[in-house]
Amino acid sequence: MHTLDTMADIFKLLGDKTRLRIVGLLKERELCVCNIVDILNMSQPSISQHLRKMKALGLVHEDRRGKWTYYSLNLEDKPYVQAILTSIPSQASSIEWLDQQEEISVCE
């Protein structure tokens, strides 16, 4: 069970549009940092900073594969975040765009 302080910290974290969009993307599927960089058109250090904050509060799993790190949602014990996910607009079109860009991705 999460405390009110933990829940408040998570809600504050999700109050950022970029982090909310990342959660929406990860709702669609696991993504590499470089994929998120491509979709959001932001720098890798900026995306990594957002993901680091999300990992610190237990919102994402991190899986290192070679020089890249892949992220997925970690919400099994956070039903209050799962409830928010149902209201986040679909990011499927961004994932479809990414799939079309595979050959020019920075994940090389």
Give per-residue pLDDT as tens, 48-107.
999 999 999 999 999 998 888 999 999 999 999 999 999 999 999 999 998 887 655 556
pLDDT of residue 101: 79
Any domain includes 23:
yes
Any domain includes 107:
no
Any domain includes 50:
yes
pLDDT of residue 2: 75
CATH number at residue 11: 1.10.10.10
Any domain includes 56:
yes
Count of domains observed in the chain:
1
pLDDT beyond 60 at 108: no
Any domain includes 40:
yes
Cα R_g (the chain), whole angstroms: 14
Range of the domain at 26: 4-102
pLDDT of residue 59: 97
Any domain includes 54:
yes
CA angle 13-23-36, nearest 5°? 110
Average pLDDT over residues 1-21: 92
